[in-house]
Amino acid sequence: MNNLIVKASIIGILVLGISSCTNYHIRKGDNYFDNIAYHDAIDQYEMVYPKKNIDDVELKLAEAYFKTGKLDSSQQIYKRAVERANCAPVTYFNYARVLMANGKHHDAANYLKKYLQMNSSDLVAGMLLSSCNSIGQRYRDTTLFELKPIMEDQFVNSFSLLEYQNGAIFTADKEVYSGRKMAAWTGNSYLEIYSMQKDEDGNWLSPELLKGDVNGRFHEGPATFSPDGNTIYFTRSNYIKRKMHVNESAENNLKIFQAKLVDGKWKNLVEFPFNSDDYSVGHPALSSDGKTMYFVSDMPGGFGGSDIYKSKWENNTWSKPENLGIEVNTNGNEMFPYFHSDGALYFSSDAHNSMGGLDVFITYFNGTKWAKPENLNYPLNSIKDDFGFSLNKDETKGFVSSARTNTDKMYAFDKKPPTFNLLGIAREKGTSIPVAGVIVEVTNTLSGQATSMTSDAKGNFKLKLMPEANYDLYCTKFGCFSKTDKISTVGMKYSEDFFADFEVEPIVIDKPIVLENIYYDFDKWDIRADAAIELDKLVRILNDNPTIEIEMGSHTDTRGIDQYNLVLSDKRAMAAVKYLISQGIDASRLTFKGYGEKVLVNGCKNDVTCSEEDHQKNRRTEFKVTKVRK
């Protein structure tokens, strides 16, 4: 009995100790999580999960994994969470984000639909669902950008590479060694701004910390320069001396600072006048004249998340920030603006039609409002975060940052024009039999350059076309009808193949060729609008073949008086000729004749009962070549 009491007491103490230990790790994990110290939060939560299945710990651990780029672990935990009967709706949304980041857009769409059934007004979820449904469009042309990684192995994360003078600057962190202070979110060093130059062969030399007072004790980040290169505007953590400043929500906000170049070092730091201890202001980008600053903020009055604002330099001060509006900003996060000299604004967003995470978008201001942002697509964008975009002056090269390898890395890219090809085939009319020897002449109407080629034994011909050009296409073979066409690549942003199908039809003297769908009102011969559409096709044939002369022939069915049908058909044929002349066809090339009911194509003679369909076959308009001029 006494032994039982002692054993029970020992077990109780152990259970109490385990429970107390569990609660300790949860409390510490929650404290780190609430202070966005996700790296440390993970260490504490892993002490508890999955030994103890506590819903709150499970969801916070999944989110902490997501925030630190451990996507497979995040997906695995969220999957368990959404399979529970009491799953909170927001968990469906969070799980969908992870699935998108792992390239599983079909599965993500299903969970976004579930979430939207309970939160139909969530605009970001609606945008992400549209993104999942249109993910194929993001791969529509993979030739426009060619990316090459910039290898800087000494850094864990490096991003926002920007040309400066003969080199570039960028932001990066490093792996933390024992005894050094680390950033709680990632467990790496704090972010700092580096510069680097190129050697004579164009290879990057070893990076160096930006000289002067820009880099401090905590985070420094994306920067921009004045047009003369003597002023830098950069992002910095909000801290005083050696201590970070946190607001009532336990958040450390970002601020924009300015510094001047003095004897090769950045000095005289000045705060941007619209910084605040209550919200973040960061990621500055200047217009090419230096008179407009674009930046990111989560200040009150925005659309949600972080928005892009602009401020103008007027009367030696920066004007009150102006939100770029609903065309650019969403309920999600818009970040990393970059303004190019041609007036284009590039930025990253995790909403709009993102592939997953942040994607780079482009928009223009038309004087009244910003154009709908356009996704720059794969391979510039990926299913992970893509941001820190910049472009050289001639728009052929640039830099972008991406987390596609699960850490932020910098890439140089070549921006290439879309490619266009003319792919054609010549075949016998009404068959798939190829025709060799068809001469194809393609003329660039802007440059006047003409290219001639001949269809091969398989009837094929191919030509590469130039961007921003108009082309006239002329296909001909001796003794056959010629054909023309027009092709334009003007304004086309994506690569495309144009297909030309040339049906080769021999010119046979006096062989009738029926014009389909030529109809007249009862007892009339006026050319109706629908008949004009078909006659316009004949106009084109006559223009394409200027040496032929034709006869227009009109036929009726057998119903009605024979002589009346003859006169009516003659008037109809004459009306068709008059229409052709009105469209510029030389009258000397045209004759007409009404055949009435004399030339039937079936057995629907007088006193023979026929269907309306069979009668219609006899009511036709034809043309035939009567002569080929030399």
Over residues 383-436, the pLDDT tens digits come to 999 999 999 988 899 999 999 998 999 999 999 999 999 999 999 999 999 999
Q: Where are the beta strands (DSSP E) in 207-291?
A: 208-209, 220-225, 231-237, 239-240, 243-244, 254-262, 265-271, 281-286
3-state DSSP helix/strand/coil % of the chain, to nearest 5: 25, 35, 45
Min mean pLDDT across 15-24, 115-124, 447-456, 543-552 is at 15-24
| CATH class of the structural domain 21-139 | mainly alpha
The span from the CA of 136 to the CA of 375, in Å, is 12
Which two structure tokens, joined as six digits, stand for 481? Answer: 């009808």
Sorted by where each begins, the domain ranges of the chain are 21-139, 151-415, 420-504, 513-628
Q: Per-residue pLDDT tens for 63-77?
A: 999 988 889 999 999
Min mean pLDDT across 86-100, 174-188, 550-564 is at 174-188
C-alpha Rg value of the chain to the nearest Å: 36
With bands split at pLDDT 50, 70 and 90, how would you rate the model's confidence at 253? confident
The span from the CA of 383 to the CA of 361, in Å, is 14
The span from the CA of 461 to the CA of 202, in Å, is 41
Q: Which residues of 608-617 are buried (b: 16+ CB within 10 A; e: fewer)?
A: eebeeebeeb
With bands split at pLDDT 50, 70 and 90, how would you rate the model's confidence at 195? very high
Distances (CA, A) of 15 to 18, 22, 48, 51: 5, 10, 14, 14
**Pairing verdict, β 420-428 and 460-465:** antiparallel
Contact by Cβ (8 Å): 146, 413? yes
The residues, ordered by sequence, that sit 6+ positions from 96 with a Cβ below 8 Å of its Cβ are 108, 109, 111, 112, 115, 125, 128
Which two structure tokens, joined as six digits, stand for 393? Answer: 């002056």
Min mean pLDDT across 174-183, 219-228, 609-618 is at 174-183
**Residue 249 has what pLDDT?**
45
Contact by Cβ (8 Å): 305, 296? no
The span from the CA of 546 to the CA of 492, in Å, is 33
Backbone angles phi, psi at 164, to 5 degrees: -145, 115
The span from the CA of 353 to the CA of 134, in Å, is 8
Which two structure tokens, joined as six digits, stand for 543? Answer: 């223009």
The residues, ordered by sequence, that sit 6+ positions from 176 with a Cβ below 8 Å of its Cβ are 182, 187, 188, 189
DSSP 292-327: EEEEEE--TTSSSS-EEEEEEEETTEEPPPEE--TT
The residues, ordered by sequence, that sit 6+ positions from 573 with a Cβ below 8 Å of its Cβ are 552, 553, 554, 592, 593, 594, 621
Portion of the chain with pLDDT greater than 70, in percent = 92
With bands split at pLDDT 50, 70 and 90, how would you rate the model's confidence at 250? very low
Cα dihedral 244, 248, 250, 253 in deg (nearest 10): -50
**Residue 16 has what pLDDT?**
37
Q: Chain-wide mean pLDDT for the chain?
A: 88
Q: Compute how many other C-beta atoms are within 10 angstroms of the C-beta atom of residue 166.
A: 7
Distances (CA, A) of 373 to 24, 353, 360, 386, 422: 48, 9, 9, 15, 31
Backbone angles phi, psi at 30, to 5 degrees: -65, -40
The span from the CA of 149 to the CA of 402, in Å, is 10
Contact by Cβ (8 Å): 592, 552? yes
- Opening angle at CA 83, ends 78 and 85, nearest 5: 125
Q: Per-residue pLDDT tens for 445-474?
A: 999 999 999 999 999 999 999 999 999 999
- What is the fold, at CATH topology level, of the domain defined by 420-504? Immunoglobulin-like (2.60.40)
Q: Per-residue pLDDT tens for 259-293?
A: 999 999 999 999 999 999 889 999 999 999 999 99
Q: Which residues of 89-111 are buried (b: 16+ CB within 10 A; e: fewer)?
A: eebbbbbbbbbbbbbbbebbbeb
The span from the CA of 296 to the CA of 308, in Å, is 5
**Among 138, 134, 67, 140, which Cα is nearest to 106's?**
134
**Residue 8 has what pLDDT?**
35
Write out the H or E segment, with its range, that includes residue 548. Answer: strand 548-555
The span from the CA of 50 to the CA of 245, in Å, is 35
With bands split at pLDDT 50, 70 and 90, how would you rate the model's confidence at 13? very low
DSSP 207: P
SS (HEC) of 454-486: ECCCCCEEEEEECCCCEEEEEEECCCECCEEEE
**Among 343, 325, 344, which Cα is nearest to 334's?**
325
Query: Rounded to an integer, what is the distance from CA 478 to the centroid of its chain?
Result: 46
**Among 351, 397, 356, which Cα is nearest to 373's?**
351
Residue type, position 373, single letter: P
**Residue 182 has what pLDDT?**
66
**Residue 523 has what pLDDT?**
67
With bands split at pLDDT 50, 70 and 90, how would you rate the model's confidence at 202? confident
Portion of the chain with pLDDT greater than 90, in percent = 62
Contact by Cβ (8 Å): 438, 477? yes
211-237 average pLDDT score = 93
Most confident of 215-219, 373-377, 500-504, 507-511: 373-377
User: What superfamily does domain 151-415 belong to in CATH?
Assistant: TolB, C-terminal domain (2.120.10.30)
Question: Over 50: is that where the pLDDT of 321 sits?
Answer: yes
The span from the CA of 225 to the CA of 232, in Å, is 5
CATH of the domain spanning 513-628: 3.30.1330.60
The span from the CA of 478 to the CA of 445, in Å, is 25
**Residue 239 has what pLDDT?**
65
More confident residue, 242 or 117: 117
**Among 535, 462, 464, which Cα is nearest to 500's?**
462
